[in-house]
Chain A
Amino acid sequence: MFTFLLITLVSLNLNSADCLIEKDSTEITKTEEGYVSTYRLLKLKILNTRGRDRCGDIRVRYNKKSQKFHIINAYTLLPDGKKVPVEKDAIMDVGSPEAAIAPEYTQRIIKAVSFPALQKDAEIVYEYKIESKKKDKEPLFGTVFFKGQNPIKKKVFIIKVPEEEHIYFKKVNGGNINIHVDTTKEGISYVFMAEDVERLPREDFLPSMREIAPFIDYTEFKNKDDMAAYIYSKFKDKIETGKEIKKLASKLWDKDPEKTFYNIIKYVQENIQNINLFLWDAGIEPHKASWTLKHKYGDVRDKTVLALSLMKASGISGDILLVEGRRGSYYASVGLSSVLSLAKTEQLPVLSHYTTMIIRAHIKDTTVYASVMDKYSNVRYLPSSLQHRPCFSFMNGKGNYFRTPLYPEKDNTLKMKLEGKLDKDGSFKGTCHIKAKGSYAATLRERFRFKKQKEIKIMLDDLVSAFGEGSKMDSFKLYNIKSRENLPELVVYITSPNFANVNNTIQFTLPSTFFTMRYASTKDRKLPLWLGVPRTIEYNANIRFVENASPFVLPDSVRLKGEYNEVESNMAFSNNTLSFHSLYSIHAQEVPKEGYANFRKIEGIFYSRNQRSVILNAK
């Protein structure tokens, strides 16, 4: 009985898991000569058909030119103890998505192994080693997560370096990770180990892994200046102001430096094609600015270097910032899902934290930020995914940690205004006017910018169907969709023959706001809710009635204020006109689980159709 209880206490909760990671052991070894190898042993137990389908094919990235990949063991262990080896044609070198996007940037491929005879309780055993073919002069750094979407029985991560080298490491977000450092004849071993790790719940709108999962950061950089000097050494010669750069800079120059900055950023955003790789997918060193200008394409490193070069040639001071974007890269050394992202602790200089770059400029005593990869936001507006992110400046070899700005609610707004008249048959004719700012401006441009007129018409016909069956978009106007300096607007002229049901009463429901979304559908959460950026949504409606009417049922006025959001909603009827006003604000980037219930209640009021429904007496 006692033994049974003990087993129950230490056993992992396998509910909702696909597989159990019995053992995940990785060893990175750096030799005195500078050769680096990664050894890994992975044992996974399949718990159900989801696990069979999701975990049955293991993919590992490597570079065939610079690395050798040895499979030491690859087999399935059946529940009866029988081994079924992976067949030769199930070990495959296939392309990586990033190489398909940009083969001129990276030749990385994927070693894919499909495991045979998988069934419930079968175990995958995979053991491999990746060795560098030549000496690797680059420093070691990385992040190892000790929690993932499946429970872990045992996870071990070891780094072995020669005695004269030193690894700095840090444990972040807690977790029961045992650490010990051994000095042997061969060098120093850093061992990190965790056992019986519960899985992360699968919830919508989660913060990044670095905020919610325990992990180990490790690096060979001594301090932030050491890392800054390293990156700067790779970048400094690429920022140049040669003839072609100067020529273009003079074309983009304006007596107003703000306008010059706008012209430069817009030029780089719109004329240099994005190569959509993560920051370090193609290595650390970018192309020279003149190369990018000539080729008219570039990844984030190349485009940022070009933008800074043009700024330099125009006399605008600024620098490049490395930013921890919310989404990560494939750069992590280990982990079944090796995605990196935000760290709460910023003290350890780990280059792989950073997944993108932005430009910072100092113009007329103000500091402005811009992303060269963005195509839809206003030029000086940082996309919401890049606001309030940890970032790192490295210019001139001086390192500094800080955060990108978080723009206030007033800079991120959607205003929707509905105006028109309702005739005696319940037919509505009027306009819906949408003004967008901040991330909503980007959303509006993303929807419409590259659409053909006929496509826009179909999209808007689809949109106005929210005004009732048979609704028709008569015409529309779009403003500042191409311009990235002014704010975009959309005006839709609508006829909706069945907007209201009319018999003894007049009944209708105003449509919900367009281009907005709700976050809190589940009753409760175990982890914080990620919202992006603070924002305000304002919805006003004015509907004139042709025939006389009087209120029968109108929604009550509501005003609710919480720590993370607030709402007010009023509907009134006078002088045969229905007026509706609703204002919803989100004050935070993130809601902790303790604040979720109240956040959800307030959000529910804003999106509730009852707040927008009305019944009037027809006279």
Chain B
Amino acid sequence: MKKLIIIVMGMLIAGCATSDKALLKAVKEKAPTSANAYIVFDSAFVKVKEDGSYIKRTHALIKILTMKGKADFGSPSFSYTTKYGKVQVKKARVIKKDGKIINVKKDNIKDIKVPAFGKFFLPNVRMVKIVYPTVERGDAIEYVVEEVITNPPMEGEFDDMVFFEETEPIGTKYYEITLPQDLYYRVYNDKEGAIKFHKNGKKYVWYANNIAPIVREPAMPPLEDVSKKLLLSTVKSWKTWSKWYWNLTKDKFSVNDTMKALIDSLLSDKRSRIDSIKALFYYVSNKIRYVATTMNGKKAGYEPFPAQKTFRQKYGVCRDKAALLVAMLRYIGIDAYPVLTNPMIRVEREIKTDQFNHAIVAIKDKNGYTYLDPTAEDIPVFLPISEQGRGVLVSTPWGEDLSYIKTLPPEDNDVFVLMDMSLDTLGNMHGKMTMKGSIIDQFFRMMVKKIPPEQLKSMFASSIASLGNEASLDTIYYTDPDDFTKPFNMTMEYTVKGFAMKSKDKYVFNIGGGAININGRDPFSLDKRHYPVYFGVPMSNKSSIFVHLPRGYVIKGGPDTMTVDNKYIHYSLNIEHQKDGIVLTSNMTYKKSLIPAKDYKNTRELHNKWLKNLKTNFILERQKRR
């Protein structure tokens, strides 16, 4: 019976078997409220051949509910890389709410070059765009689009990643694949078992009905890490991918005489192995600019330019910079390899699907692999903090398994703030704040190189603007951002008029702080969460603040010394009263990369307790004369 239902559903959804009457009925059915569009169905039918070439036929029907829905779905586009295949629109129609069907004319289906975006100029990537005319609220758009891949990235193999959740509700999501090869697959993030599966010989089907939209929460993990998804691949082992990429890159590592001369000059005063590695890493990361141009070779998007070309041009995208660094390191006898990774999402280990979007470098020694990202400009270490914990696949002739970069403890991902504040008798404050630590060393070093000084000043002026009636950034200075041998630190000096409220013989002021924001949003703002709070990496923020009080005044109230702690956070505040002021020492440590939703409530309570204490104002009173 189950088998029969699935076959009927497949037939219904398949373009060939979906009658206009059935479509119209689907369009007329009540759509969920509070949505901009309703994806009545979204189906894919994939037929893979022995050589890995395939045709993926996508058939979708989307009901437009608002003008935003029309803007979001009214002109869908499908991109493709000319080196691998093409995209063809087989059917594109508007199904009006009154039942009338309007075919989209050929003129409204355009095959165009993808636009340049940021540092990416990709002349061999195109997109097919369907512009639906006459669409009004309540109408639906329908398309059948075929992706025809004749030259797959890995010959004889197929892999895919299919998401079963969107930001709009879905009636039915259906994925069917027929292939001669063995298939490995797994569904992720579907505890409730919403995604059903059926297999019939070499045909595999997954489907789900009535899928609620994803609602984003502040500081949640990337959508790809938490949404229901299906990973499938014919590739049995990560070693296959590893060897495949090695074979694609191994001929790119030759160095010419100019390169040799440059390497020799860079290393002329370097006495140790690590100093030599650093010198080559800093050269590639800082002297070779990041830009993506025409995608090279038969395996466009994967295959790097030869190291000699990248060296000559002095630019390249991640894979080009990685190949150049590998070439330079190998030339001096360092055992270096290119690495595939993804700094944005979790790479799932179980199914050997291409989940990579970035290339870096690994150096092998007796202790294992050390990773270097030569696209990370202006940082003193080999890897940016954001790449800790990420999945990596080292490409070698013998093949490697997927592994994960070590995540450093919070004290190694730190910010340290040293403040010296002087309060005068008018309630004004003169402050000096020095920031240092590994996070500052990476982000601020990069900021001062990339952002023009006047914009930098404006950014920091905005950050102190709310401290009082009139906060002014007087000066900002920092250590040499190009000197990677010394830790980087930045100092701001500022004046805040009306920092303290004055009332008769009292002053009241607040030091502030204690809050955390991730991408500008408070991760603890929600009462309940569906998704974890995601910090990216464990980290700590320590500060030491000395507040010089006006002569003759004493503290009559303020926050208490306090510590809160659980599995995920450790916060402590120590207040020490001294002769002419107070010293506040604080530590906010996030012990893990994320707080799971089940432990959110308890952690939020601790966080709130901490904030409440910090919110208490300091009250100063004039000391009575004896």
- Given A498-B612, A608-B498, A609-B466, A455:B216 Cβ within 8 A: yes
Question: Are A295 and B133 in contact, with the CB atoms below 8 A?
Answer: yes
Question: Are B112 and A375 in contact, with the CB atoms below 8 A?
Answer: no
State A222–B245 Cα separation when bound (angstroms): 65
User: Does residue B24 face the partner (Cβ distance < 8 Å to A)?
Assistant: no
How far is the CB of A16 from the nearest CB of chain B, in Å? Answer: 5
How far is the CB of A345 from the nearest CB of chain B, in Å? Answer: 29
Chain A interface SS verdict (over half) = mixed
- Given A461-B525, A465-B522, A49:B286 Cβ within 8 A: yes
Question: Are A553 and B115 in contact, with the CB atoms below 8 A?
Answer: no
- Given A522-B458, A555-B501, A604-B470, A462:B526 Cβ within 8 A: yes
User: Does residue B213 face the partner (Cβ distance < 8 Å to A)?
Assistant: yes
Q: Which of B116, B133, B612 contacts A297 (CB 8 A)?
A: B133
State A294–B470 Cα separation when bound (angstroms): 56
Proximity bits, A556-574, B CB within 8 Å = 1, else 0: 0000000000000000000
Question: Are A553 and B458 in contact, with the CB atoms below 8 A?
Answer: no
Q: How many residues of B are in contact with the other chain, CB < 8 A?
A: 93
Q: Which of B296, B312, B471 contacts A604 (CB 8 A)?
A: B471
User: Does residue A430 face the partner (Cβ distance < 8 Å to B)?
Assistant: no
Q: Which of A273, A469, A501 contacts B616 (CB 8 A)?
A: A501
Category for how many chain A residues contact B: 35 or more
State A603–B503 Cα separation when bound (angstroms): 22
- Given A15-B453, A458-B218, A469:B611 Cβ within 8 A: yes
Question: Are B127 and A100 in contact, with the CB atoms below 8 A?
Answer: yes
How far is the CB of A182 from the nearest CB of chain B, in Å? Answer: 38
Question: Are B612 and A296 in contact, with the CB atoms below 8 A?
Answer: no
- Given A452-B215, A468-B615, A505:B469 Cβ within 8 A: no
The segment out of B197-205, B271-279, B287-295, B537-545 that lies at the interface is: B287-295
User: Does residue A96 face the partner (Cβ distance < 8 Å to B)?
Assistant: yes
Q: Which of A16, A273, A452 contacts B67 (CB 8 A)?
A: A273
Question: Are A452 and B503 in contact, with the CB atoms below 8 A?
Answer: no
Q: Which residues of B contact A119 (CB under 8 A)?
A: 287, 314
User: Does residue B513 face the partner (Cβ distance < 8 Å to A)?
Assistant: no
Q: Which residues of A contact B286 (CB under 8 A)?
A: 49
Q: Which residue of A lies closest to B498 (CB)?
A: A610
User: Does residue A365 face the partner (Cβ distance < 8 Å to B)?
Assistant: no
User: Does residue B527 face the partner (Cβ distance < 8 Å to A)?
Assistant: yes
User: Does residue B82 face the partner (Cβ distance < 8 Å to A)?
Assistant: no
Q: Which residue of B lies closest to A555 (CB)?
A: B501
Proximity bits, A446-459, B CB within 8 Å = 1, else 0: 00011011110010
The segment out of A52-60, A252-260, A330-338, A541-549 that lies at the interface is: A52-60
Which residues from 254 to 285 on chain A have a C-beta closer than 8 Å to any C-beta of chain B? 270-271, 273-274
Q: Which of A59, A114, A469 contacts B608 (CB 8 A)?
A: A469
Proximity bits, A504-515, B CB within 8 Å = 1, else 0: 110101001000
Question: Are B455 and A523 in contact, with the CB atoms below 8 A?
Answer: no
Q: Which residue of B lies closest to A296 (CB)?
A: B134
How far is the CB of B377 from the nearest CB of chain A, in Å? Answer: 8
Q: Which residues of B contact A203 (CB under 8 A)?
A: 454, 458
- Given A50-B449, A468-B615, A604-B469, A274:B116 Cβ within 8 A: no
User: Does residue B390 face the partner (Cβ distance < 8 Å to A)?
Assistant: no
Question: Are B458 and A521 in contact, with the CB atoms below 8 A?
Answer: yes
Question: Are A56 and B293 in contact, with the CB atoms below 8 A?
Answer: no
How far is the CB of A174 from the nearest CB of chain B, in Å? Answer: 23
User: Does residue A406 face the partner (Cβ distance < 8 Å to B)?
Assistant: no
How far is the CB of A110 from the nearest CB of chain B, in Å? Answer: 6
How far is the CB of B556 from the nearest CB of chain A, in Å? Answer: 10
Which residues from 477 to 502 on chain B have a C-beta closer than 8 Å to any C-beta of chain A? 497-498, 500-501
Q: Which residues of A contact B471 (CB under 8 A)?
A: 604
Q: Which residues of A contact B406 (CB under 8 A)?
A: none
How far is the CB of B473 from the nearest CB of chain A, in Å? Answer: 7
Which residues from 511 to 529 on chain A have a C-beta closer than 8 Å to any C-beta of chain B? 512, 518, 521-523
How far is the CB of B320 from the nearest CB of chain A, in Å? Answer: 12
How far is the CB of B393 from the nearest CB of chain A, in Å? Answer: 28
- Given A99-B115, A458-B215, A601-B470, A90:B458 Cβ within 8 A: no
User: Does residue A195 face the partner (Cβ distance < 8 Å to B)?
Assistant: no
Question: Are A270 and B67 in contact, with the CB atoms below 8 A?
Answer: yes
Q: Which residue of B lies closest to A474 (CB)?
A: B527
State A454–B503 Cα separation when bound (angstroms): 45
Question: Are A521 and B525 in contact, with the CB atoms below 8 A?
Answer: no
Q: Which of A16, A110, A117, A458 contacts B453 (CB 8 A)?
A: A16
Question: Are A104 and B557 in contact, with the CB atoms below 8 A?
Answer: no
Question: Are B607 and A469 in contact, with the CB atoms below 8 A?
Answer: yes
- Given A89-B293, A613-B617, A95:B113 Cβ within 8 A: yes
Most-contacted residue by chain A among B136, B458, B527, B604 (CB, 10 A): B527
State A97–B118 Cα separation when bound (angstroms): 11
Most-contacted residue by chain B among A204, A601, A611 (CB, 10 A): A204
Proximity bits, B590-626, A CB within 8 Å = 1, else 0: 0000000000000011011001100111010000000
Q: Which of A104, A452, A522, A607 contacts B461 (CB 8 A)?
A: A522
Question: Are B455 and A90 in contact, with the CB atoms below 8 A?
Answer: no
Question: Are B115 and A95 in contact, with the CB atoms below 8 A?
Answer: yes
Proximity bits, A431-451, B CB within 8 Å = 1, else 0: 000000000000000000110
Q: Which residues of B contact A554 (CB under 8 A)?
A: 503
Q: Which residue of B lies closest to A276 (CB)?
A: B71
Interface pairs A-B: 8 shortest CB-CB: A469-B608, A103-B110, A465-B525, A450-B68, A95-B115, A95-B113, A116-B313, A100-B115
Binding site for A on B (CB under 8 A): 34-36, 66-68, 70-71, 74, 77, 107-108, 110, 112-116, 119, 121-123, 127, 129, 131, 133-137, 213, 215-218, 286-287, 289-291, 293-294, 296, 309, 312-315, 377, 449-450, 452-455, 457-458, 461-462, 465-466, 468-474, 497-498, 500-501, 503, 506, 508, 510, 521-522, 524-527, 557, 604-605, 607-608, 611-612, 615-617, 619
Question: Can you give 16 contacting A-B residue pairs, CB < 8 Å?
Answer: A56-B289, A57-B119, A92-B294, A93-B113, A95-B114, A95-B127, A103-B129, A114-B291, A202-B454, A270-B67, A295-B134, A458-B215, A465-B522, A521-B458, A522-B457, A553-B619
Binding site for B on A (CB under 8 A): 15-16, 18, 49-50, 52-53, 56-57, 59, 84, 87, 89-90, 92-97, 99-100, 102-104, 107, 109-110, 112, 114, 116-119, 201-204, 270-271, 273-274, 294-297, 375, 449-450, 452-455, 458, 461-462, 465, 468-470, 472, 498, 501, 503-505, 507, 509, 512, 518, 521-523, 552-555, 600-601, 604-605, 607-611, 613, 615
Given contacts A107-B112, A458-B216, A512-B466, 18 further A-B contacts (CB under 8 A): A15-B453, A89-B294, A90-B294, A92-B293, A93-B123, A116-B315, A118-B314, A295-B134, A297-B135, A454-B215, A472-B527, A507-B615, A522-B473, A523-B461, A523-B473, A553-B506, A604-B469, A604-B470
